[in-house]
Chains A and B, each alone.
Chain A
Amino acid sequence: GAGVSQSPRYKVAKRGQDVALRCDPISGHVSLFWYQQALGQGPEFLTYFQNEAQLDKSGLPSDRFFAERPEGSVSTLKIQRTQQEDSAVYLCASSWGTGVNTGELFFGEGSRLTVL
């Protein structure tokens, strides 16, 4: 596709449910990032992939959060046993390069998660 595609755009989950958020990056982009954006806040880094390798997961807030990119393209962010504090917009971004200085980050429109 022309841009980064995320699905679902909106997800309502009951507390304790598991959710899976999907990201389709721009074709050929090597780097893929997940960010969490709470209401009224800037995006906060969650995790980074270079191709299929997860090189940085230091931003994942707990072991309930898990991300994968098994074939180096599509990525899934999974949240187990959702809590109310997980309510946020989850943004996926991709870039062609492998360093912060090598290319623009292209963001998707995000998946808005509401946990009741």
Chain B
Amino acid sequence: QKEVEQDPGPLSVPEGAIVSLNCTYSNSAFQYFMWYRQYSRKGPELLMYTYSSGNKEDGRFTAQVDKSSKYISLFIRDSQPSDSATYLCAIGRQGGSEKLVFGKGTKLTVNP
């Protein structure tokens, strides 16, 4: 079983739609949860970072973590064509190694 699983999509939605992206992870030792956005032929850039269960909101983006279910989500409200990108979940834990474990990424297209 992979440490983090993410539905690769692709996902295509109309402009203005609410988008839900999800990942599951297998090891409860992971404490830090991130979402990165990656445009085509670019490096990933951090969107959201959280370390506790619950919701964290930043503008149109909401990150949700449920540690009991080992489930993380990213919601995008009022999606825009500029949101078209690949979204990567990433998890990390303190101590031992500082590496992040990434999901496969979900490719999102927002159609105008």
| A interface residues with partner B (beta carbon < 8 Å) | 4, 31, 33, 35, 40-45, 48, 50, 55-56, 58-59, 91, 93, 98-101, 104-105, 107-110
Contact = CB atoms under 8 A, between A and B. Distances in A.
B85 to A, nearest CB: 13
Interface string B41-59: 1111110010100000000
Given A43-B88, A107-B43, A33 B94 contact: no
Interface of B: 6, 8, 31-32, 41-46, 49, 51, 88, 90, 92-94, 97-105
Interface of A is mostly: loop
Contacts of B97: 48, 55-56, 58
B99 A56 contact: yes
Interface of B is mostly: loop
Contacts of B88: 42-43
A90 B46 CA distance: 18
Contacts of A42: 6, 88, 90, 102-105
A21 B26 CA distance: 33
Most chain B beta-carbon contacts within 10 A, residue among A41, A43, A55: A43
A101 B32 contact: yes
Nearest to B88: A42
